[in-house]
Structure 1
Amino acid sequence: MRNRHAGEPFTSSDDEIRTALEDVSIPALMLSCVHMSGDFTLLDGPVKPAGIFLNEVQGFMSEEDRATARALAFDIICDYRDRGCPEPAPVSAVQLKRMMNWLVAAELPDEYVPMMLEEMELDGRDQRDVDFESDPADRATFPVVIIGAGQSGLLAAIRLQQAGIPYTVIEKNSGVGGTWWENTYPGARVDVGNHFYCYSFEPDDHWTEFFAQQPELQAYFQAVMDKHGVTPHVRFQTQVTRADWDEQAKSWTVQLTRPDGTAETVSARAVISAVGQLNAPHTPAFDGAETFAGPAFHTARWNHDVSLAGKDVVLIGAGATGFQLAPAIADEVASLTVFQRTAQWMFPNPNYHAEVGDGVRWALRHLPFYGRWYRFLLFWPGCDTGLAAAKVDPEWPDQQRAVSAANDLARMMFTEWITSQIDGDVEDAEALLAKVIPDYPATGKRTLQDNGSWLRTLTRDNVELVRDGVARIEPDAVVAADGSRHHADVIVYATGFRVNDMLSSLTVYGRNGIELHDFWGPRPSAYLGMTVPGFPNFFCLYGPGTNLASGGSLIFHSECEVRYIMGCLDLLIAADKTAIEPRQDRYDDWYRRCQAELATLVWSQPTIKHSFYKDEAGLVHSLSPWRLVDFWSWTRTPEPDDFIFF
């Protein structure tokens, strides 16, 4: 059987191939040529990347070198076509490491090689599908309830199905996708290149944009759900209201509210919470908000019945969501007033709104392993390198400006990108720059992907940026803290989510009748982000300490977490036990180590104000402070000594 990543055979004409090569990523193309030709001397020639940088997918090299690479590739691809597109011979581990080194223009650290090989699946095998040791008959009598059908809940369902474990997914919405179902505001799109922001075992060559918009992302998860036959196991428009551990039965009793409002109870041996961190919108309690006469709604509950055409719109909040929304509606509205408490750092990304060319899709579909190397190209520049700029150097003299030399370099790069977009022709350019250049260390809050659309929007005649808080809301206006009054026909709240209220939509009672939030108090935590003492057979996905602020992809993290949870279930079932939970000392040590590590990173710095990463006490509980390679290593196989079995 042909390796599914070896490409579909093709008979494309010479002209079609030449045209396609104008679109493609040169590094991924060259490595595909190595597979097609078996000629590793291609890596010894002068055509090679000078470096590898986030979002630089064409290849960091001169146009002359790119043209030379296309010419080399054309001959190899035509020869490959004329030979009938045979499946390339396997490549040894030593050769693959050499290819990785060539792509990153450096020596790839050995500790990363197994993770990247697993991620790329060059052998065509889904390496994150757990090889269970427990008896299939025992697994078939171990029902699981998954709460939520976002990307992590869907992933858990697929893995349970592959393992032969019965499951039911409870989803409050009427469709799959979680945040990609709920957030339908104009301009909503992913911030991670979507050829990486998809399951490793379900790559997609149909993306129309490099950073796909919400409808296309939701459609991807729908297609994956249909392909894997998960849909019949999902109960849509059904809300989980409570879950109780039954000590005598050694099972969970889960209370539901059906679509018609009636109650129901189901039992499960295990519960997997996949409600995530971005599912409960946060709308501040502004004075007078109830008196506003026009439509007012949160971006996560976008009212499509309200037309913004010709309206005076006030947008409260300009973080990641407002940053996407404002450029998408500025052409339509009469006026747009944007309230922003603090400016956001922006990372240059020219492809943020770019369309995927036909040549890229052709290469993804036909060229052997092109898609896998392209995934590597997207993954590696954001794999742990961001932690270097986030690490605090206690000796650095000006902690208000930056937290280290690397962080200061990032600040200078980001500042140059911002200032380069505002020239002398812009009215009050200096005043605008004073508003949009942040006064805190770079990467201290969520850094936004930018192709220039944000600042172009702010320089429009019908757009005003108000760098102030909201004093009150009146029937037809929003009043700023400085007393200025801004007329509003519509108010849109882009005020984020209740990130620090972990699992706020759930009420979960564990052993001895202890409720999860009472157990946590102000310190939500889970061992490796997934398990909690006193809550047997209860697992979290995208739980405390698993959000990513320095790179990577939440889908990658979810694949690590789901494999770990599947391993825990296998341990439990194979041991012929009824329950598993983490040891208290392991849990306590994990929390201590996480907080100690977070304290060394920019996100915890006292100079960072108004960050959704922080709780009221200034502590960070949502983010992972760890390298991706460490989290991947720790979650490959659960360690039995970390748990108590009943």
Structure 2
Amino acid sequence: MLQTMTQTNRSEPLLPDSEVLRRALASVDPSDLLMTYAYLTHDRDLLERMAPHIRPLFGLEPTAIPDELVEELRSKAFIALTTAGATRGEMPSRELMQRIMSVGMGEQVDDEFVDLLFEQCGFVVPQARKSRVDRTMPPQGFKVLLVGAGLTGLAAGIKLKEAGYDYICVEKNADVAGTWLENVYPGVAVDTPSHFYSYSFHQKADWNHYFPRGEQVRQYLNGVADHYDLRRNIRFESVVTTMAFDEASGLWNVTIRDKNGHAEVVQANAVMVAHGRLNRWSLPDIPGIERFTGPVMHSAGWDRSVDLEGKRIAVIGTGASGAQIVPNVAPDAGKVTVFMRSRYWVMPNPKISGTVPEETKWALANIPGFQQWFRFGIYWNASDGYYQHVLRDPAWPDDAPSVSEVNEQLRQYGLSYMQQKLGHRPELLEKLTPDFPIFSKRMVLDAGWYDALLRDNVEVENDPIAEILPNGIRTRSGAVHEVDVIACATGFNIARMLGDVQVTGRDGRSLNEEWGDDDPRAYLGTTVPGYPNLFLVGGPNTGPNHGAGANLVAEAVINYIVECLDLMVARDAATMEPTEQAYRDWNDKIDDQLTRMIWSHPKANSYYNNSAGRVFLSNPFRLVDLWNWTRKPVEEHFLLGRAQN
């Protein structure tokens, strides 16, 4: 059941005439305004007259709407918003909504996307499960244990609460927000646009930046926890150490240790693991690191009390975190030496450091429907639109540094950007130019990274580190770099998805042993045979590595898990686990599709891969595919059972 998110009242104007409204209409993007106007008025005439002038964001020709049409649009939008009865009181038909989407993006939006877009953009919201008259409510005493209170865990708590499930959440930190509570390094930010990196059901209109700073995300998630009163269900400064399934009772015995070392065993009917990927960090295994006499900090364990002014700073790592840290510490540092372990493709985005104009923030907060259409445009251009770049063309040479014509075009764009920024420094250009296809590793958005590397007090060292000395770093060539502070932007142990939690299933099976250090597998990335009622959020092969969408994936998988719980309750079952056949078929499907993806390219090797080269993280399908597959479980893919006692 769905409910329309935005309704209008035709008996009175939607907004009063004001100078701020006029400024907003004059400043917002015409395509966003056109979609909003057509949504409110159902005006097909202006929509179709503007359609020939709007082009896809990544098309060969830019959007060029004639000035007279733009002025007509702004005038009609003003009348619609300030005149009683000028707007329609109901949401447009599905067909018109799809047409508005297609015109606004300058390309066809296929029907398979529409339901996802309705939900993810906030045009409709699912009816709260516990208010559905045709649904069996969870029985008294049915308890879910949730691990993690970051972006994923908070969403899970909201949806469990809406469905009427009793749950407790275990969180190792003293507050919510997960990685956005922990990561406080200079320049910490998100490389997903602000207006999409948020819950579809709790959007935020007043982001200050187009790409949010870490502190802004932390504030957003704190606000979510307050709004939904989630903290009452969270045990802070506590960790789960073991989970053991009891076959007789059909329950999980979960050992929780608090900050004082006190251990308690809690029984739960189901367990949801939502402790995030960017959670398990450690300092790099470099000889001598323990002997260094100055501060050594990981990006996720940054000590803000360390004074960096005038210091000689070593930054180990050139991925997303390193590319944010260096521009923010270099201006005050005496010298920054960047130790490059890997090369990355770096792409420009004019909005990466841009602030959202006040007129746009006002429009997002006040013009009905504008926020939903603004979010739609971001999703369409930042997510599945990139999928074509990660598909390998079977006719494309295997030894080429790209995987298709469109991927090569983007590679050439990346090369031209590097030439533009670094062409006058050929030695630096040579050090930084990747030899692997663009999109086969996580890309870096340039928020001052290249400019920082061009500073007189910044040096890029690609000679591998041999050891760390008490006062510096020695590379393999024997060169010694004396430094005062070491900053490790060296990532996370993502492959060890269970962290330090020991998980024991049926017949004493150990999931830790079955997965080993880096080979996790699951059915639909969520459940594993032999481990009933154990659900993973952010599990194997669910990473949206072709574009933005971590929040979308989290919402989709959480929906699926709650649907699984509902199926158990409706069937009066105590346990639920996937069949071995469904598990094997799904993983065969994953492995087969991965052969067609960019991540199987001979030179594609990143944290997406395990030590054997298998891609364990990336979802090789589109986000819309995953969303559709997670609407509800296929009952015949599961074994439903009763407790033995």
Shift of 1:350: 0.7
Among 502, 505, 509, the residue aligned to 2:504: 509
Write the distance in 2 (CA, Å) between the matches of 1:18 and 1:159: 39
Equivalent residue in structure 2 for 1:490, among 482, 485, 494? 485
Is the aligned partner of 1:17 residue 2:18? no
1:61 and 2:63 matched: yes
Matched residue, 1:368 = 368
- For residues 52 and 357 of structure 2, what CA distance do their matches in structure 1 show? 23
Match of residue 35 from structure 1 = 39
Assess, with a 3 A threshold, how the Cα gap between structure 1 residues 619 and 47 changes in structure 2: closer, same or farther: closer
- Aligned residue for 1:121? 122
| Alignment of structure 1 residues 397-546 onto 2, 5 Å | 397=397, 399-422=399-422, 424=424, 429-451=425-447, 453-521=448-516, 523-546=519-542
| 1:618 CA displacement | 1.1
Q: Distance in 1 between matches of 2:543 and 2:321?
A: 17
Q: Which runs of 5+ in 1 are unaligned?
A: none
Q: Hey, what's the Cα distance between the residues in 2 that align with 1:618 and 1:423? A: 34
Q: For 1:219-368, what aligned pairs fall within 5 Å after superposition? A: 219-368=219-368
- 1:176 matched to 2:176? The reply is yes
Structure 1's 583 and 158: CA in aligned 2 closer, same or farther, altered over 3 A?
Answer: same
Distance 2:314 2:562 in 1: 47
Q: 1:69 to 1:127 in 2, by over 3 A?
A: farther
Q: What is the deviation of 1:22?
A: 4.3
Alignment partners' CA distance in 2, 1:221 and 1:54 = 32
Number of matched residues? Answer: 634
For the 8 Å contact 1:471–1:480, the answer to whether it is kept is yes
C-alpha deviation, 1:76, in angstroms = 2.6
In the superposition, the TM-score normalised over structure 1's length comes to 0.93
Change (3 A) 1:373 1:361: same
Moved more, 101-110 or 46-55: 46-55
User: Per the alignment, in what secondary structure is the counterpart of residue 125 of structure 1?
Assistant: strand
- Determine whether 1:50 maps to 2:85: no
**2:384 aligned counterpart, secondary structure:** coil
- Note the C-alpha offset of 1:241: 0.8
Q: Residue 115 of structure 1: CA displacement?
A: 2.0
Residue 78 of structure 1: how far off its partner (Å) = 4.3
Question: Contact between 1:150 and 1:177, CA under 8 Å: does it hold in 2?
Answer: yes
- Give 1:332 deviation, angstroms: 1.6
Q: Supply the distance in 2 between the matched residues of 1:127 and 1:70 (Cα, whole angstroms).
A: 39
- Aligned partner letter, 1:439: D
Give a deviation string over 1:507-560, Cα, whole Å, max 9, x none.
111111111111223531111010011111100000111111101311100111
CA shift, 1:10, in A, is 6.5
Checking the alignment, whether the CA contact within 8 Å between 1:191 and 1:211 is kept in structure 2 is yes
List gaps (5 residues or longer) in structure 2: none
CA distance in structure 1 between the partners assigned to 2:485 and 2:186 by the alignment: 15
- Cα deviations by residue, 1:380-431 (Å, 9 ceiling, x for unpaired): 123323232222234323624222222211211111122122354xxxx111
Write the distance in 1 (CA, Å) between the matches of 2:339 and 2:582: 44
**Cα distance in 2, alignment partners of residues 643 and 447 from structure 1:** 38
CA positional deviation for 1:127: 6.0
Cα distance in 1, alignment partners of residues 376 and 313 from structure 2: 42
C-alpha deviation, 1:11, in angstroms: 5.1
In the other structure, the counterpart of 2:607 is 612
1:83 counterpart SS class: coil
Overall identity of the aligned pairs, in %: 33
Q: Does 1:554 align with 2:556?
A: no
Q: Which residue of 2 aligns with 1:637?
A: 632
Which residue of structure 1 aligns with residue 592 of structure 2?
Answer: 596
Q: Distance in 1 between matches of 2:369 and 2:386?
A: 27
State TM-score, norm by structure 2.
0.93
Tell me how far apart the structure 2 counterparts of residues 139 and 494 of structure 1 sit (CA, whole Å): 47
Letter in 1 for 2:20: E
